[in-house]
Amino acid sequence: MSEQERTSEPKGDLTPKDVAQRLEQLTELSVELSANRNTPRLLEHILRTAKDMTHADGGTLYRITPDKHALSFYISLNDTLGMYQGGESGNAIDIPDLPLYAPDGTKNLTAVAAYAANTGISVNIQDVYQIDAFNFSGMRKFDEAYDYHSQSFLTVPMQDHEGEVIGVLQLINAKDPKTGKTCAFSDTDQRFIEALASQAAIAITNQQLIARLEDLFESFVKLINIGIDEKSPHTGRHCEHVPVLTMLLAEAVHEIDSGPLADFRMSERERKQLWLAGLLHDCGKITTPVHVVEKATKLETLYDRIQTVDTRFEVLKREAEIRSLKQKLAAGNDGKRHAEINAALSAELAKMDEDRAFIRRANIGAEFMSPEDQQRVCDIAQYRWIGPDGNEQPLLSDEEVTNLTVRAGTLNDAERDIINNHIVVTIRMLESLPWPKHLQNVPEYAGGHHERMDGKGYPRGLTGDQMSVQARMMAIADIFEALTAKDRPYKKGKTLSESLQILGGFKLRSHIDPNLFDVFVRKKVYLEYARRFMDPAQIDEVDESKIPGYLP
């Protein structure tokens, strides 16, 4: 506003002491801007600092709406009226947004806050009742409703380093610190608030940029898991559930105040770090071949080759039948001989059917295959049949025997090495990223979930004291989720009591951290997870006194 529009004198010039005090306030705010990650609290502190610095009676902070078409009232303060709305007060501001554009698309320059946002120019008005450059009808209604008298206004756009306005800071009724009378905001007031607003806008923009980058990174992490999920929907659920279970255990440990883990505490940043590590703990599986990840039976590759073995049995049966017919022809009309041939054929076909049924059962992965059953597979493999090339060969190839005699699960040694390699790839992928300081432990947390307390894990053979508590937590979460998951192609999900029995065995064999296992059971982390993710049919009664390695 020009000098001709001033109708009251601004407060006197600042003394060196006043200037020093304001510079100190700016410095303190600058420190908080760089350290405080709580944007709502920061915005409120910005308004209060501006208000205190200029001795204003009231103030409002507007934020640009996401669509950039309006200003929304974020926080409003007024000392005389005892008003505290928005911000962290919990008192909602029921004032409509202030449009930045008219219905015809032109910029709204009639409202002072909209004018400042649209032009990037500060507006310093000594007496709003003495000018008609802006529409102050809303302000007049406010004064009537609250028996208040608005007089001086200082409206400053909050512009970041690229000149983009992210909000507007508006101060009302400057008070002379000596007399307490309402006066105009001085030019010095304006310059200080412009400096404050600019500094605040840059800091907030940087925070928003960091937040957007973090959101982008987390979205990228989820994108990797979507890629894994497309390869294997079973692994995809695992990638979603392990971080949740890890955090449940971490929070339980965070809350305890006695025992070996009493000193474990997590900040919000540390929680974020652990959560990301959980999401990424199996990211290396994106390189694992689908036919290995999804191997539901022992003979499955691109398809389940049990049908091929079935065909060979049918060929054997056909050859047995042809052989018996030839024997009957050779026997002529000897009825007794025919009966013997029929009986032998029936016994041979029955034996083949039994062996075929056994091979079908052996093809399905189980937790344990006995040596006797493994030997029976080898014996059945010795059947001889004529292949498509006309040559006689064993019923089962060496590779098929190797797969069908897998002791546990469906993976042979070579395939298990391929699966295990996912953690090597995970570590290599994560260690190749330039992690910021507050996320630098993600590779260690994510890469340690297959290590064991006794040093017999993989890939690095670390012992318990060489691993972080977080990595040891993830190991328990990884195992328990795998035990209870019902969507694996090679097994059914175990009940809650069965899973805890097995997990207790892992503890006794020095596979998992005994102290974390104790918290997992004592704080009933398992039950909270079960209620959220397990099928109700799996949630049976748990007698904690019977869990191996646990003392109630």
Among 13-17, 99-103, 441-445, 499-503, the minimum mean pLDDT is found in 13-17
- Whether residue 193 contacts residue 75, with contact meaning beta carbons closer than 8 Å, is answered with no
Among 149-153, 162-166, 360-364, the minimum mean pLDDT is found in 162-166
Please state the rounded mean pLDDT for residues 232-242: 76
> 175-183 long-range CB contacts below 8 Å, 24 or more apart?
175/55, 175/56, 175/57, 176/11, 176/12, 176/55, 177/11, 177/55, 182/8, 182/57, 182/149, 182/151, 182/152, 183/8, 183/9, 183/10, 183/11, 183/152
What percentage of the chain has pLDDT greater than the value 70? 91
What pLDDT does 236 receive? 58
Higher-confidence residue of 37 and 325: namely 325
Helix (H) or strand (E) holding 400: helix 398-404
Phi, psi torsion values for 86, nearest 5 degrees: 75, -165
What pLDDT does 429 receive? 93
* pLDDT tens digits, 374-418: 999 999 999 999 888 888 999 999 999 999 999 988 999 999 999
Burial classification of residue 505, based on how many CB atoms lie within 10 Å of its CB (0-12 exposed, 13-18 middle, 19 or more buried): middle
Mean pLDDT of the chain: 88
* pLDDT tens digits, 486-528: 866 666 789 999 999 999 999 999 999 999 999 999 999 999 9
The pair of three-digit structure tokens given for residue 429, joined into one six-digit string = 């992928």
Residues 6+ apart with CB under 8 A from 62: 71, 72, 73, 74, 98, 113, 117, 167, 168, 169, 170
Please state the rounded mean pLDDT for residues 518-539: 95
pLDDT over 60 at 11, yes or no? no
Neighbours of 470 (CB within 10 A): 26
Nearest to 448 by CA among 368, 541, 513: 513
pLDDT over 50 at 9, yes or no? no
Phi, psi torsion values for 107, nearest 5 degrees: -70, 140
pLDDT over 90 at 460, yes or no? yes
Higher-confidence residue of 15 and 6: namely 15
Q: Are strands 392-394 and 165-175 parallel, antiparallel or unpaired?
A: unpaired
Q: Cα–Cα distance between 139 and 129 in angstroms, integer?
A: 10
pLDDT over 60 at 5, yes or no? no
CA distances from 291 to 179, 280, 424 (A): 83, 22, 19
* pLDDT tens digits, 155-197: 999 988 788 888 999 999 999 888 889 999 998 889 888 988 8
Residues 6+ apart with CB under 8 A from 339: none
* pLDDT tens digits, 118-135: 999 999 999 999 888 898
pLDDT over 80 at 37, yes or no? no
Residues 6+ apart with CB under 8 A from 235: 228, 229, 282, 285, 293
Q: Find the distance separating the first CA and the last CA of the chain, reported in whole Å.
A: 76
Nearest to 429 by CA among 293, 277, 244, 292: 277
**Banded model confidence at residue 234, pLDDT cuts 50, 70, 90:** low
Say which residue the tokens 């009537």 belong to: 144
* Residue 146 identity (one-letter amino acid): Y
What percentage of the chain has pLDDT greater than the value 90? 61
Total residue length of the chain: 552
CA distances from 476 to 57, 209, 250 (A): 58, 35, 11
Among 4-18, 149-163, 165-179, 419-433, the minimum mean pLDDT is found in 4-18
* pLDDT tens digits, 312-345: 999 999 999 999 999 999 999 988 999 999 999 9
Q: What is the pTM of this model?
A: 0.69
